[in-house]
Amino acid sequence: MYILKYQKRHFLKVFLLLVSSLYLAQGIAQNKKMLVEQLNKRGEAYVLIKLPDKKTIYRLNKVVSIDRESTLRKNYVYAYVSKSQFDEFNLLGLDYSVQTAPSLKLAATMCPDLTSVKNWNCYPTYNQYIDLLIEFATNYPNLCKLDTIGTSVTGRLIPVLKISDNVSLDEEEPAFFYSSTMHGDEVTGYVLMLRLIDYLLSNYQNDARVKKLIDSTEIWINPLANPDGTYSSGNTDITGATRANANGIDLNRDFPYPGNENSPYQKETQDMMSFMEKHHFILASNFHGGAEVVNYPWDTWSTRHADDDWYIKISRQYADTAQANSTGYMTDLQNGITNGYDWYPIAGGRQDYANYYLHSRETTIELSSTKLPDASSLPAFWEYNYRSLLNYIDRVHFGIYGKITDTEGNPVRAKISIENHDADSSEVYSNPENGMYYRMIAGGTYNITYSASGYDSLTKSNVLIGDDEQIRIDVVLEKNVSSVPFAQIKQVNNPFGNSLNLNLYLEKNTDKIILSLFDLSGRKQKEYSLTNLFSGDNFFSINTSGLSKGLYLMKISSKQFVIQKKLIKN
């Protein structure tokens, strides 16, 4: 009797396991089917993924775009999966469920005409957006200039506005950059940036603070960095906007990072890199949605940025000011701020690219927990944020700055490094066009070294500065006689295409120099021998058609000198 009861129990247990396995297999098959349907319909799918352990997030990060952690279910994250990622994601064998995409949870209220856009309680169509930027430039020709970063994969323009008191000139002023919505379905910043442009221009004559900012800063604003994602449903509606661009690529995972500098970057990424390098931005931020927090470097590494204290201070200032003008807003993670890696690590983000490769300073600001908020709430988001937006621009003026020239008064591109402080590319460089440099830093006492190829280095010791102070230190560097014959790159097409055109100035005749191109991991990709060079200007056009697109280090060397410069190939 006992044996019969045991056999019955065992049979029942096996039966339940088989049924459970069957339901599990059916569930997996159903999830996979829904995922494929979403990918075929929209090009990307929004999924909730269970993480079996902490290490899985690192594997997952290399395959899909993690969006955020689940606030309701522990060890779950939301992520976007694109068509190109499907096979690799499927191989991970993770437990997931397909969710409603954030941009499909609400039908966006679109503006009926251009006039209504400036009520700031509806979303502009793509054509209204372009027309509004044209209107700004037309109505304020002395303060505002319309420019273009480039075009999207499908050919949509990616405009940018420059705002300055002498907008047609490149002045000796720090360049500042705001950019929004590189994730096409995160649209709060899109409208806030349009309203910020309007606020700055319309208040220049009657607001002393606005006037001071515009008179002392080159302000660049790009409201929409991914138009193909935002208007994936067509130019007249943003409902159903996608995170990725038209090729299904997350643009905030598409930038170079050490060990991955020569990927086939998207057109939007290539154009953005070229634009940012050209304008030598001192301070920047890019705006996102899905949380309410200021995210500061690094995103890719657990090590802290050399200016971690300074980053915490400016992030805290933004969040505190937003909190003071709202209720329960901008309080995520560490009460409204977070180190990027502490939140969740990513690679290929624009923030780390700007900080590491361009020696700039940039944060990522998440403006709204809802990616596509009801348009009626947009005026409230403006009220919460506009003071913080102005304060953040103003931060570019605090710290150590000045002009670096040679003994004849010519501008010099020099490295400005802080002794026993700088690390991981945190040093800054002066603008080669005018010699101006800006070193934002937390209060303290520092030894600052100024160095440039062909010049004797100079160190300023025990420089004391407070957190909210501005100190000007102009520096004259003397040519190093050991570097004669002195060489200088007077002109180079950067970014370059299938030919690299170079004007190299030499003080004396030189028999031979070597021009080498390295990728940023240090691997030599090309080497050219240039002979019979004369004093004065020497012009070269070098075939580079065999090189992949990406970032390169150009090294020009002889027995007497070495010159290095970072270049981008489009």
Closest residue by Cα to residue 378 from 25, 7, 122:
122
- Angle, CA 70 vertex, CA 66 and CA 72 arms, to 5°: 175
Q: Which amino acid is at 104?
A: L
Q: How far is CA 204 from the centre of its chain?
A: 28
* Residues in Cβ contact with 199 at an 8 Å cutoff, skipping those fewer than 6 apart: 210, 386
The question of whether 366 is a catalytic residue gets the answer yes
CB 226 within 8 Å of CB 251: yes
* Alpha-carbon span 299 to 331, nearest angstrom: 20
DSSP 481-523: GGGPSPEEEEEE-SSB-SEEEEEEEESS-EEEEEEEEEETTS-
Burial class (CB in 10 A: 0-12, 13-18, 19+), 345: middle
* Residues in Cβ contact with 517 at an 8 Å cutoff, skipping those fewer than 6 apart: 524, 525, 526, 527, 544, 547, 552, 553, 554, 555, 567
Out of 171, 268, 366, 469, the active site residue is: 366
* Alpha-carbon span 151 to 318, nearest angstrom: 31
* Alpha-carbon span 360 to 340, nearest angstrom: 17
CB 240 within 8 Å of CB 123: no
Q: Which residues pair with 297 in a beta bridge?
A: none
* Alpha-carbon span 476 to 452, nearest angstrom: 11
Closest residue by Cα to residue 236 from 101, 134, 377, 107:
107
- Angle, CA 564 vertex, CA 559 and CA 565 arms, to 5°: 155
Cis amide leading into 485 (omega within 30): yes
The angle, 0 to 180 degrees and rounded to 10, between the axes of the packed helices 188-202 and 378-394 is 60
Element (H, E) at 35: helix 2-42
Catalytic machinery residues: 366
